[in-house]
Amino acid sequence: MLTVCHLYPDLLNLYGDRGNIIAFVRRCQWRGIPVRVREVGIGEPVDFGAVDFVFLGGGSDREQTLMAEDLLRRKDELQAAIEDGLVMLAICGGYQLLGRYYRTLQGETIPGLGLLDFYTRAGEKRLIGDIAVEAELGGRTVRLVGFENHAGQTFLGNIRPFGRVLAGYGNNGQDGTEGARYKNVFCSYLHGPILPKNTALTDYLIGRALARRGQDGILCPLDDTFEERACAVILRRLRLGR
């Protein structure tokens, strides 16, 4: 039984990111892997040690502040679970929050959880549009597509990026990096949402979660015709057609 933890679904319901939960759960179910979802709101208890996959999305400013306060109280627990190999996906605002700080245009510094070594600063121009990324997952190079929409520009410290930008902006529109990756934590700016279309990533996350529970993590293939077709539309548009 895999347990999926959806953090703050009430607060962070922007940009259809709950599709990431749907995709993870469905792809387990289609393979007969038992899975359940725990939705965790502000102040509600959660044992990160007993969870197999955590999803953290982004919200508007006010909601982001509320979730930051709550997560700060759970920081030590979360950190221990991450070091222990917890599989986690953090998107956009959730991604930024795991870093050291966010600096606003006015120069104000909002501290992050400081779990990962990067920082974000607000840019003058919002980075919006279709994006394609190349990432390495378990020794396999895959292309992922999505939609990015962020004002923050993230700069990585001593941590590796999730992928390399093929088209679009990525972390900051300058250094060609997209997202961040530490152990089994995957951070990205890709909305769309990211998991339903990019089945290689979803399956990789499921595999890692199973492996952490001592199972072999090898998944039977599914028919991904629609997903591949949906990705191909964006790749063609970005002139990356195969």
Partner 1 sequence: MRLRLCAATLAGKVAARLARLCGRRGSSLPGVVALRLYPGVLARLVSQVRTGVIIVTGTNGKTTTSNMIARMLASAGFRVINNREGANLITGVTAAFVRAADLFGRIHCDYAVLEVDEASFPRVAAQTNPRLVVVTNFFRDQLDRYGELDTTISFIRRTLAERPHISLVLNADDPLVAQLARYVRNTKFYGLAPRSAGAPRGATSREARFCPFCGHSLEYTGYHYSQLGIYQCTGCGFARPRPDVEAAAAAVAGQVMRSRVRWEEKVISVVLPTQGVYNLYNALAAFTTGMVLGIDPATAAASLGHYTPATGRLEGFLYRGKPVYLNLVKNPAGFNESLNLLFAGRGTGDVFIAINDNDADGHDISWLWDVDFEVLAGVKDKLSFVCSGKRGAEMAVRLKYAGVPPRKITVVDNLRAAIDCTLNGRGGAAYFLATYTALWPVEKLLRRRVTRTALENAADV
Q: Which residues are catalytic?
A: 92, 191
- Binding-site size for partner 1 (CB under 8 A) equals 34
Written as six digits, the tokens of 85 are 């190999």
Of these, 44, 47, 49, 60, which contacts partner 1 (CB under 8 A)?
Answer: 60
Of these, 33, 38, 149, 164, which contacts partner 1 (CB under 8 A)?
Answer: 149
C-alpha distances out from residue 131 to 16, 35, 52, 101, Å: 17, 31, 28, 25
Q: 5 or 116: whose CB is closer to partner 1?
A: 5
> Segment near partner 1 (CB under 8 A), from 17-25, 43-51, 112-120, 134-142?
17-25
Considering the rule CB under 8 A, would residue 22 count as an interface residue with partner 1?
yes
Considering the rule CB under 8 A, would residue 19 count as an interface residue with partner 1?
yes
CB crowding 135-168: b at 16 or more within 10 Å, else e: bebeeeebbbbbbbbbebbbebeeeebbbbbbbb
End-to-end CA separation in angstroms for the chain: 38
C-alpha distances out from residue 233 to 135, 163, 170, Å: 19, 20, 19
d(CA 109, CA 103): 4
Q: 159 or 238: whose CB is closer to partner 1?
A: 238
Binding footprint of partner 1 on the chain (CB under 8 A): 10-11, 13-19, 22-23, 26, 60-62, 126, 128-130, 147, 149, 191-193, 196-197, 223, 225-227, 229-230, 232-233
